[in-house]
Amino acid sequence: YPDPRQREEFIKMEASMRIGGNVSLSPEEQQLDAHLSKLMLEEMAREDFLPALHFFKARPLIRSSPIYGLLQKMPKGAALHVHDFAMVDVEWLVRNVTYRPHCYICYTDDRSVRFYFSSGLPKPLSNCSTWTLLEQLRAKTVNVTDLDDSLMSYMTLWTLEDPELAYPSLTVVWKRFEQAFKATWGLVTYAPVFKDYFHEGLLQFYRDNILYVEVRALLPETYELDGSTHDTEWTMKTYQDTARQFVEENPDFFGARVIFTVNREIYPALLTKEVQKAMKLQVDFPETMAGFDLVGQEDTGRPLWEYKEALSLPAAQGSNLSYFFHAGETDLQGTKSDQNMLDALLFNTSRIGHGFALLRHPVAKMLSKMNAVPLEVCPISNQVLKLVKDLRNHPAAALMSEGHPLVISSDDPSMFGASGLSDDFYEAFVGFGGLSNHLGTLKELAMNSIRYSSLPPNLQEKAMALWQRKWNKFVTENL
């Protein structure tokens, strides 16, 4: 006959192992927590459990849920995993950016679009129609709203169609995903737009109650109307200036740092130059440069190990360049890329982007836990990019239950129709634990995002103090 006291102890033990399991709550926090539990019960009693639905179908229901309302108001800390050109909703790109003068458009053979700002007719692109000035196209168009809606649809995966029909396979969804970035490219690399885009991106995160952002950035050349270009340093400096300006305008925001990224299609011999560039940026922009990463589809890209020579340079040269590798964003087991998490850890990565495959790699999992190398978990991204259907089955649900270090982020909110971090927090909070989660979970997730940021210790302390003030205010205002 089982001993009921021992049973009680085991249950407590599990609860305390969870993320947030040991966070102590003030009387006010306990009151809010009780309210939150009631809301969670209601959420779980719904006929459709929202994290089990595809986000494209769940979004309107999520947005009207009281839990979402709270999560939106909650100070969520930092967004540590977001990509440069997927921060701002596409509505802003179309309604603001494409209405600026000198904006040309062409339609590609594979049903996408390209944009380019130019004082004269741009040079023709292969596999693209002739360039048309958007202003003229709109003047000739009867239903401009339809035209604008169609422009938006090229720059996001978000659709009202059945997502399973629109994106039947991983290959298809990734192709459309990269197409959407290409469609965005000519708008966001136009120098005047580049600045405004980042400012708007910070604003959208700030409005979602996030106080600090780390951007994965390709740092491309940007161009002007006359076709002249600016180099990587310009791009980096513009990030720095824009972040500083934003903090001046909004003193309760903590700023932004940049993780320089290169696509993992690059030839290994060519990565050396990129890593050297990263080391130089680290010296020239110590305030803003956070580190280096490789991006793009992991299954089809080169495994990290093929880049080992280039990636060994910083240590050999005494550079303090940090790594923030994407790794384990794959479903394929036993492939070369399936070792990326281990290799990321061997290269001393500061965090792991995704780590979706971690449960299948006990050694990598142990190293990540022992060395406190957190995963950047992006629930909606993993669902839309077809790694998991029902978010209750996301590996992070298990990892959260055993207190594995992780943070929640949104990856590419504009691509998925998400906004800031709130949608991903909803999926994580409700989907990865249901009633086992509580206010302590949310508190620890938010604190993790500051603790595991690339900010130096003295700034981390300041950011944490700022977050704590906001948190206390949030708690008292929502009792």
Ligand X SMILES: O=c1[nH]cnc2c1ncn2[C@@H]1O[C@H](CO)[C@@H](O)[C@H]1O
Least Å from the CB of residue 200 to ligand X: 16
Among 14-22, 65-73, 78-86, 87-95, which window interacts with ligand X (CB under 6 A)? 78-86
Size (the chain), residues: 479
Q: Which residues contact 352 (CB under 8 A, 6 or more apart)?
A: 325, 326, 327, 328, 341, 344, 345, 358, 368, 373, 374, 375, 376
- Part in contact with ligand X (CB under 6 A); list of ranges 17-25, 77-85, 116-124, 144-152: 77-85
Q: In whole angstroms, how close is the CB of 217 to ligand X at the nearest point? A: 7
Q: Which of 127, 141, 150, 263 binds ligand X (CB under 6 A)?
A: 263
CA 309 to chain centre: 28
Distance of alpha carbon 235 from alpha carbon 329, whole angstroms: 28
Smallest distance, Å, CB 83 to ligand X?
4
Q: How far is the CB of 181 from ligand X (least distance, A)?
A: 4
Q: Please, which of residues 179-198 interact with ligand X by CB under 6 A?
A: 181
User: Do the Cβ atoms of 371 and 399 come closer than 8 Å?
Assistant: no
Q: Which residues pair with 327 in a beta bridge?
A: 354
Which residue pairs from 357-360 have beta carbons closer than 8 angstroms and sit at least 24 positions apart in sequence? 357/328, 357/329, 357/330, 357/331, 357/333, 357/395, 358/328, 358/395, 358/399, 358/404, 359/395, 359/398, 359/399, 360/333
Residue 329 binding ligand X, by CB under 6 A = yes
CA distance 13 to 24: 15
Considering the complex, state which of residue 175 and residue 195 has its C-beta at the smaller distance from ligand X: 175
User: What is the spatial distance between Cα 476 and Cα 31, in angstroms, rounded to a whole number?
Assistant: 10
* Chain residue whose CB lies nearest ligand X: 295
Q: How many residues bind ligand X (CB under 6 A)?
A: 15
Residue in 240, 221, 341 with CA at minimum distance from that of residue 290: 240
| Nearer to ligand X among residue 274 and residue 444 (C-beta) | 274
Catalytic (active-site) positions = 329, 354
Judged by CB under 6 A, the residue of 55, 85, 167, 432 near ligand X is: 85
CA dihedral sign, ordered 409, 237, 92, 326:
negative
- Return the number of the residue (295 or 310) whose C-beta is nearest ligand X: 295
Task: For the CB of residue 160, give the shortest distance to ligand X in the complex, in Å.
Answer: 22
Among 69, 296, 403, 434, binds ligand X (CB under 6 A): 296
Q: What is the DSSP letter of 108?
A: B
Q: In this chain, which stretch among 2-10, 40-48, 82-90, 154-162 interacts with ligand X, using CB under 6 A?
A: 82-90
Among 18, 59, 76, 83, indicate the residue that binds ligand X (CB under 6 A). Answer: 83
Closer residue to ligand X (CB): 364 or 464:
364
Q: Candidates 79-87, 121-129, 236-244, 313-321 — which segment interacts with ligand X by CB under 6 A? A: 79-87
* Under rule CB under 6 A, residue 299 binds ligand X: no
For helices 27-44 and 439-451, angle between their N-to-C axes, nearest 10 degrees: 110
Binding mask 390-429 for ligand X (x = CB under 6 A): ---------------------xx-----------------
CA–CA separation, 289 and 278 (whole Å): 8
Provide the pairing of β-strand 222-223 with 229-230. antiparallel
Q: Does 84 bind ligand X (CB under 6 A)?
A: yes
Applying CB under 6 A, the residues found at the interface with ligand X are: 83-85, 178, 181, 216, 218, 263, 295-296, 326, 329, 381, 411-412
